């Protein structure tokens, strides 16, 4: 990708999170000519980027992205930013929201990239609980724009940039305006129906927790293995396909008709097959995705509390049976000896307790309860 | 083992089941000089044994065991037998009980070898439901006496004979008499407290279903693997140890103090280790136990409905939490798309519905409801 380096002062971006995604985004935006601030919780990361003056990126995007401000001070990071882009593990979103809240200003856009399941709803609820009286629009995508990896603070590689990325705002009647702004940098971003659609389009919740459990012995073996190619065996793929139907049933109860994960593989990767187990093997991007060697990764620790747990909570509220999701959550909790439900997103933390489906739909559209 | 071939006409044995265990037992008993009848449902198996005149056994026991009668007619098989030994998959026990019932005679002993969980209770209940008015004592062991394999009908190998085997009768006040009779052939059989102890001492319910689920990707891989040595990884072993505590809690509610599976490995195999994952690797008998290559084996199809399902049912009745057992049952059902609960043993099929713990204990002891 040739980056058109041009001065672009219209939009100031604040990137919250200096990991793989945050550094890649910061460098990419800076190379497009946008003023960029970068925040991370770790002084070590920020110090390295500050010393270097920015982030060196290679791969699908090449060049040195000058970072205007690298800081561990969140007030400084968000001050004057038009778009505050949160690129951090979903388990950190709540904490980021609490710490951002006092420093936000009218008209700012929070863009959670990606929101996992319920990111925008949770952020909105925290702002309410923190008595934030500013007019803030919270948006989210369902996935990260890049496949990327930072080798060290200040140096990152973008392997691939997605051709399409769904974004929705809360309220949904702001989505058009938000997407138009985002399109100044990222023309591939398009509007989803509302943040329930982005939240329920979380592919990680389908492809990570259940297969991880069913691969426990391989994970704890001495062998190298490929997460998708070795890990999504016929029975495991079939289980995920059945669980995926539960996800689509939850979506349908909100009036959302969404593609299955199998259909999504065809759309996103051109991987056309009868079963998920076959589809992943037709996706060459997966040829080198190695399997983990411990159960304690974000495939369990993030994708359950921030993916399956909110889906189960929504399913229960709607009266939609989600037995596979529930069983995976239970089994994972018992296997790793950790409560992933209490720390996870539920109707309560999403701010949806006591609301009917119609009330939720109206709230998603207008932001009014 | 040198078999002392001697005429022994005191006890007539009927062996129900012509698989690995049934053929090995028949040959062993015949070589000890007992009159033996062998029944199987398959004419092909019976015809081969009938043609040969018996079963050729090698390994820990050597010789040709002459079979007095090989038949597919269960009436003929049980007629005049003192001990009717059922050596068949636990899922067939109910059907065998129904078909035996009309042909039993006063004083006969049914010995379910092994009973899985609830074998004797289920058999007793079927006899009641079939209005069998004969005085029958139903006994069971918690495991099979042999490690053995039949190469073809009429030819079998006994790799090892257990040094100890727990047996209990229903009612327990008959156990002493039954064990004394069994000791005529098998001095290693000893009396357990009651059939609840043999039933809850089912090691397969612990070591088979949960590890099988967590080994799904290895099972469906092209690789050869060792069930215990590769399959019981640290997290899998730890999960089984935690589930084992649920089993012991159920037993304790019936006043039974039993060894954990980890302690049992030390007792049975001298495999002394801190964890189950280490203990199985110290058990040389497991060096060649290969892993399965499909989920559809008795590790799921027998050990769940005839092992975990009755334990869950007992746990619920007692108010003892068994979340790991329940989750394994649920996950297995969803993974293989089959209801293992409805076809499994429950309070209902064990004849314990509506009884208090005290009533059950009294029933186990005296056989009176």
Instruction: Give the pLDDT band of residue B8 (cuts 50, 70, 90).
Output: low
Task: Give the CA-trace dihedral at A165, A171, A176, A180, to 10 degrees.
Answer: -70
Average pLDDT over all residues of chain A? 95
Catalytic residue (one of B28, B103, B208, B244): B208
Higher pLDDT, B213 or A369: B213
* Terminal-residue alpha carbon distance, chain A: 44
> Among this protein's residues, is B73 annotated catalytic?
no
pLDDT at residue A264 is higher than 70 = yes
Confidence at residue A284, expressed as pLDDT on a 0 to 100 scale: 86
> Among this protein's residues, is B296 annotated catalytic?
no
DSSP string, B259-299: --HHHHHHHHH----SSHHHHHHT-GGGTT-BPPSSS-SHH
Confidence at residue A268, expressed as pLDDT on a 0 to 100 scale: 80
Nearest to B220 among A233, A295, A324 (CB): A233
* Terminal-residue alpha carbon distance, chain B: 44
> pLDDT digit string (tens) for A135-185?
999 999 999 999 899 999 999 999 889 889 999 999 999 999 999 999 999
The residue among A352, A356, A366, A361 whose CA lies nearest residue A121 is: A352
Is B213 an interface residue toward A (CB < 8 Å)? yes
Cβ contact, residue pair A331, B336, below 8 Å: no
Largest CA distance in chain A: 54
> pLDDT digit string (tens) for B195-234?
999 999 999 999 999 999 999 999 999 999 999 999 999 9
Question: Whole-prediction pTM value?
Answer: 0.87
pLDDT at residue A47 is higher than 80 = yes
Strands B69-71 and B36-39, bridge-based pairing:
parallel
The runs of H, that is alpha helices, within B184-258 are 195-200, 203-207, 209-214, 216-219, 234-253
Which of B215, B325, B334 is the mutation pick for testing A, counting most A CBs within 10 A?
B334
Cβ contacts of B233 on chain A, cutoff 8 Å: 216-217, 219-221
Nearest chain B CA: its distance from A276 CA (Å)? 14
CA atoms within 13 A on the CB side of A310: 31
> pLDDT digit string (tens) for B288-320?
889 999 999 999 999 999 999 999 999 999 999
> pLDDT digit string (tens) for A189-225?
999 999 999 999 999 999 999 999 999 999 999 999 9
> pLDDT digit string (tens) for B39-92?
999 999 999 999 999 999 999 999 999 999 999 999 999 999 999 999 999 999
Confidence at residue B6, expressed as pLDDT on a 0 to 100 scale: 44
Rounded CA separation B309/B315 (Å): 10
Interface confidence, given as ipTM, is 0.81
Rounded CA separation B339/B258 (Å): 30
Cβ contact, residue pair A331, B327, below 8 Å: yes
Catalytic residue (one of A208, A224, A296, A339): A208
Which of A304, A331, A337, A340 is the mutation pick for testing B, counting most B CBs within 10 A?
A331
Instruction: Give the pLDDT band of residue B146 (cuts 50, 70, 90).
Output: very high
> pLDDT digit string (tens) for B314-348?
999 999 999 999 999 999 999 999 999 999 999 99
Catalytic residue (one of B40, B93, B103, B303): B303
Cβ contacts of B236 on chain A, cutoff 8 Å: 216-217, 220
Four-residue CA torsion sign, B313, B319, B320, B324: positive
> pLDDT digit string (tens) for A301-347?
999 999 999 999 999 999 999 999 999 999 999 999 999 999 999 99
Cα B225 to chain centroid distance, Å, stands at: 25
Confidence at residue A111, expressed as pLDDT on a 0 to 100 scale: 98
Confidence at residue B354, expressed as pLDDT on a 0 to 100 scale: 95
Is A214 an interface residue toward B (CB < 8 Å)? yes
pLDDT at residue A8 is higher than 90 = no
Cβ contact, residue pair A233, B221, below 8 Å: yes
Confidence at residue A2, expressed as pLDDT on a 0 to 100 scale: 44
Task: Give the CA-trace dihedral at B134, B135, B140, B146, to 10 degrees.
Answer: -80
Is B336 an interface residue toward A (CB < 8 Å)? yes
By C-alpha distance, the chain B residue nearest A213 is B214
Confidence at residue A285, expressed as pLDDT on a 0 to 100 scale: 81
Is A237 an interface residue toward B (CB < 8 Å)? no
Cβ contacts of A217 on chain B, cutoff 8 Å: 211, 214-215, 217-218, 230-231, 233, 236
pLDDT average, residue stretch B157-173: 94
Cβ contacts of A235 on chain B, cutoff 8 Å: 216, 220, 295, 335-336
Rounded CA separation B223/B288 (Å): 15
* Percentage of chain A modeled with pLDDT above 70: 98
Rounded CA separation A129/B289 (Å): 58
Beta bridge partners of A161: A146
Structure tokens, A346: 């539920």
Confidence at residue B1, expressed as pLDDT on a 0 to 100 scale: 45
Which of B214, B230, B245, B297 is the mutation pick for testing A, counting most A CBs within 10 A?
B214
pLDDT at residue B369 is higher than 90 = no
Nearest to A331 among B231, B233, B331 (CB): B331
* Orientation of helix B119-129 relative to helix B93-100, angle to 10°: 40
Residue B174 neighbours by CB under 8 Å, 6+ apart: B137, B139, B367
By C-alpha distance, the chain B residue nearest A240 is B335
Query: Residue B186 in contact with residue B113, Cβ under 8 Å?
Result: no
Rounded CA separation A225/B98 (Å): 50
Nearest to B214 among A214, A233, A324 (CB): A214
């Amino acid at each position: 990708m040739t980056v058109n380096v041009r001065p672009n002062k219209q939009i100031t971006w604040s990137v919250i999170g200096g990991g793989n995604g945050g550094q890649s985004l910061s460098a990419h935006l800076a190379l497009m000519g946008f003023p960029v601030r970068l925040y991370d919780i770790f002084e070590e990361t920020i110090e390295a980027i500050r010393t270097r003056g920015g982030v060196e990126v290679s791969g699908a995007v090449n060049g040195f992205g000058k970072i205007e401000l690298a800081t561990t001070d969140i007030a400084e990071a968000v001050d004057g930013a038009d778009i505050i882009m949160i690129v951090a593990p979903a388990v950190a979103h709540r904490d980021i929201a609490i710490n951002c809240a006092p420093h936000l200003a009218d008209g700012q856009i929070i863009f959670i990239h990606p929101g996992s399941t319920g990111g925008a709803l949770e952020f909105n609820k925290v702002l309410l609980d923190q008595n934030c009286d500013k007019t803030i629009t919270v948006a989210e995508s369902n996935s990260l724009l890049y496949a990327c990896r930072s080798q060290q603070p200040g140096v990152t590689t973008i392997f691939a940039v997605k051709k399409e990325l769904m974004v929705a705002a809360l309220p949904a009647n702001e989505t058009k305006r938000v997407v138009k702004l985002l399109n100044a940098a990222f023309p591939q971003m398009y509007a989803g129906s509302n943040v329930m659609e982005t939240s329920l389009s979380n592919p990680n919740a389908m492809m990570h927790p259940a297969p991880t459990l069913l691969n426990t012995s391989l994970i704890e073996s001495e062998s190298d293995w490929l997460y998708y190619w070795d890990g999504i065996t016929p029975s495991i793929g079939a289980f995920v396909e059945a669980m995926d139907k539960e996800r689509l049933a939850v979506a349908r109860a909100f009036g959302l008709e969404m593609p299955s994960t199998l259909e999504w593989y065809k759309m996103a990767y051109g991987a056309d097959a009868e079963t998920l187990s076959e589809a992943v093997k037709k996706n060459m991007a997966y040829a080198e995705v190695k399997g983990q060697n411990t159960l304690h990764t974000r495939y369990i620790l993030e994708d359950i509390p921030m993916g399956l747990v909110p889906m189960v909570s929504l399913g229960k509220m709607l009266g939609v049976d989600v037995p596979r999701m529930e069983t995976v959550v239970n089994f994972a909790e018992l296997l790793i000896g950790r409560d992933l439900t209490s720390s996870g997103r539920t109707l309560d933390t999403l701010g949806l307790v006591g609301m009917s489906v119609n009330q939720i739909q109206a709230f998603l559209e207008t932001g009014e309860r």
